[in-house]
């Protein structure tokens, strides 16, 4: 049995036995700054110890999970962090912020008349309000919770993969590792500021929404500037490559071994 099938089987076993079903373990919270509100869910380590420091994982959802219900953003990825195995081996603080319906994590113009979508990234544009609030939330948690500042990890899928690339670019000193899934970024703007951030990039080569060329171009750019990058491309997989990525046996191990 190959490594992907083993990882997927373990993930399904966790779900089937109930280990990963209680999404209510992610507390509902809101981060407020002025008139702006960012709903988010937060998972604390079991037996949270105020005398210890813990890694912080930031998970950015896709466009389909936007809204204000503070629930939809847990559809993809939350169960991975709730499994008994993950919580025992990798105690961490995990947050799932939610982007408003009318906004986006990344500064990108999207042409939905094409398939895959036409994407025009512009990091010269101001940071979007939701991504700014995510960064402010990270800094707030650094002050108020037991966050290990050397171990802050960012991942996301589709729109969230785009946000992952952009957050790492705009705030490279904040990020210990980045894992963009079926995303993309401003290839021309990416430069040596991200050189110390290890990346693991995922994409399906049959993606009809966000073309695989988006990740291929970013990976090529990362390698050209000397970044440590791992790239996993799934043959025949469409837009839902996050299912494959979260089933990677080394996904969590790779993440949590990284530090700034």
pTM here?
Answer: 0.91
Calpha distance 8→85 (Å, rounded): 14
pLDDT of residue 2: 54
CATH number at residue 163: 3.40.50.1820
What are 167's two structure tokens? 């957050």
Query: Pick from 132, 98, 129: which is nearest to 29 by CA?
Result: 98
Domain count, the chain: 1
Are β-strands 199-204 and 229-234 bridged in parallel, bridged antiparallel, or unpaired? parallel
Q: Which residues constitute the domain of residue 22?
A: 3-256
Calpha distance 108→87 (Å, rounded): 35
Tens-binned pLDDT, residue by residue, of the chain (260 aa): 454 454 444 444 444 433 335 899 999 999 999 999 999 999 999 999 999 999 999 999 999 999 999 999 999 999 999 999 999 999 999 999 999 999 999 999 999 999 999 999 999 999 999 999 999 999 999 999 999 999 999 999 999 999 999 999 999 999 999 999 999 999 999 999 999 999 999 999 999 999 999 999 999 999 999 999 999 999 999 999 999 999 999 999 999 999 99
**133, 30 Cβ separation under 8 angstroms:** no
Measured in whole angstroms, how far is the alpha carbon of residue 70 from the centre of its chain?
A: 17
pLDDT of residue 22: 84
- 3-class DSSP state of 151: strand
CB-based burial of residue 249 (10 Å sphere; 0-12 exposed, 13-18 middle, 19+ buried)? middle
Query: Pick from 59, 148, 46: which is nearest to 88 by CA?
Result: 46
pLDDT of residue 21: 52
pLDDT of residue 224: 97
């Amino acid at each position: 049995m190959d490594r992907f099938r083993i990882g997927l089987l373990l993930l399904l076993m966790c779900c089937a036995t109930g280990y990963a079903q209680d999404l209510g373990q992610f507390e509902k919270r809101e981060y407020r700054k002025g008139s702006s509100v960012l709903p988010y869910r937060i998972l604390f380590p079991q037996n949270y110890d105020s005398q210890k420091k813990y890694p912080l994982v930031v998970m950015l959802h896709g466009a389909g999970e936007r809204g204000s219900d503070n629930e939809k953003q847990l559809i993809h990825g939350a169960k991975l962090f709730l499994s008994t195995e993950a919580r025992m081996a990798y105690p961490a603080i995990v947050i799932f912020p939610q982007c408003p319906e009318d906004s986006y994590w990344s500064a990108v113009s999207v042409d939905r008349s094409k398939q895959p979508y036409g994407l025009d990234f512009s990091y010269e544009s101001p940071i979007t309000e939701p991504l700014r609030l995510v960064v402010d939330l990270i800094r707030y948690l650094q002050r108020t919770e037991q966050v290990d500042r050397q171990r802050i990890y960012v991942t996301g899928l589709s729109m969230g993969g785009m946000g992952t690339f952009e957050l790492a670019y705009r705030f490279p000193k904040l990020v210990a590792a980045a894992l963009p899934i079926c995303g993309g970024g401003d290839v021309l703007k990416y430069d040596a500021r991200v050189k110390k951030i290890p990346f693991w990039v995922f994409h399906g080569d049959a993606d009809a929404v966000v073309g695989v060329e988006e990740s291929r171009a970013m990976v090529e750019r990362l390698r050209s500037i000397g970044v440590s990058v791992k790239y996993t491309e799934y043959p025949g997989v469409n837009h839902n490559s996050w299912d494959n990525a979260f089933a990677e046996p080394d996904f969590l191990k790779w993440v949590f071994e990284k530090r700034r």
